[in-house]
Amino acid sequence: MNYKITLITIISLLICSTTLFSQEQRIEYIEVVGKSQEMFAPDQIFVSVKIKESQLKDFWKIIEAVNINKEKDVQMIEMNSVLQKYLLKRDAVNITNEFNITVKDVQQLSKLFKELEKYKITDIDITGSSLSNIEEAVLSAQKKAAENAKTTATQLALTLDREIDKAIFIQSYDTYFQREYNTDFKRNALMGAMGESSSTDNLSDIDFKKIKIEGRVLVRFSLK
């Protein structure tokens, strides 16, 4: 008798537990995708400069005059050792050194070009641009995407006389970003302009394209 009562009690508890579990899983929700797009002005502009061995002293004078951190923002491209030995045997004066320089904005870029022009250094190339705080920019785009998702979910729910509650699921997707700059101002155009007397006075007008960052998140909001 006691065995039957115990068995019935266990079965009843299992049924109640299953019912409660099923009720907890039946959450009404709305699922939306939020998107955002933000534009950022680059704060890193990359410049490649090639100079002769005889111009090295002048080059470092230029770096100091433009207030460029030579330890952090100037990188020398190592020459192939075999080629270096070959050139040294021929003529040390004609050895070419290549440097990658990072400047923070167009104004500093303009100053750099003016100084390079002063010392007759013309083998220059703008190789690209970027953001120093790219992680912060990506996070900003993702936050904006989440805000847009909430706005969309709220409006859709209100249309159906419902109201959203808490976010119960969030998934962020890989954020896409573009590093672009105006190709009209690559080396050929710049060097052509530097042949004119007023060339470097107009370098501050170079229009680098802003960096586009797109955020995308999927969010599920429970409904009240």
Of the pLDDT bands very low, low, confident and very high (cuts 50, 70, 90), residue 8 is very low
Furthest C-alpha separation in the chain = 110
pLDDT tens-digit readout, 91-138 = 554 677 899 999 998 889 989 999 999 999 988 888 888 888 888 888
pLDDT tops 80 at residue 173: yes
pLDDT tops 70 at residue 23: no
Structure tokens at 174: 């890989």
pLDDT tops 50 at residue 139: yes
> Which range has the worst mean pLDDT, 12-16, 71-75, 163-167, 173-177?
12-16
SS (H, E, C) the chain: CHHHHHHHHHHHHHHHHHHHHHHHHCCCEEEEEEEEEEEECCCEEEEEEEEEHHHHHHHHHHHHHCCCCCCCCEEEECCCHHHHHHHHHHCHHHCEEEEEEEECCHHHHHHHHHHHHHCCCCCEEEEEEECCCHHHHHHHHHHHHHHHHHHHHHHHHHHCCCCEEEEEEEEECCCEECCCCCHHHCHHHHHHHCCCCCHHHHHHHCCCCCEEEEEEEEEEEEEC
> Which range has the worst mean pLDDT, 83-87, 193-197, 206-210?
193-197
For the chain, give the percent of residues with pLDDT over 70.
67
Of the pLDDT bands very low, low, confident and very high (cuts 50, 70, 90), residue 187 is very low
The pLDDT value given to residue 17:
44
pLDDT tops 50 at residue 3: no
CB 211 within 8 A of CB 180: yes
Position 187, amino acid: R
> Which range has the worst mean pLDDT, 7-16, 35-44, 94-103, 138-147?
7-16
pLDDT tops 90 at residue 25: no
Structural domain boundaries of the chain?
44-130
For the chain, give the percent of residues with pLDDT over 90.
36
pLDDT tops 60 at residue 22: no
May I ask the CATH architecture of the domain 44-130?
A: 2-Layer Sandwich (3.30)
Q: What is the mean pLDDT of the chain?
A: 76
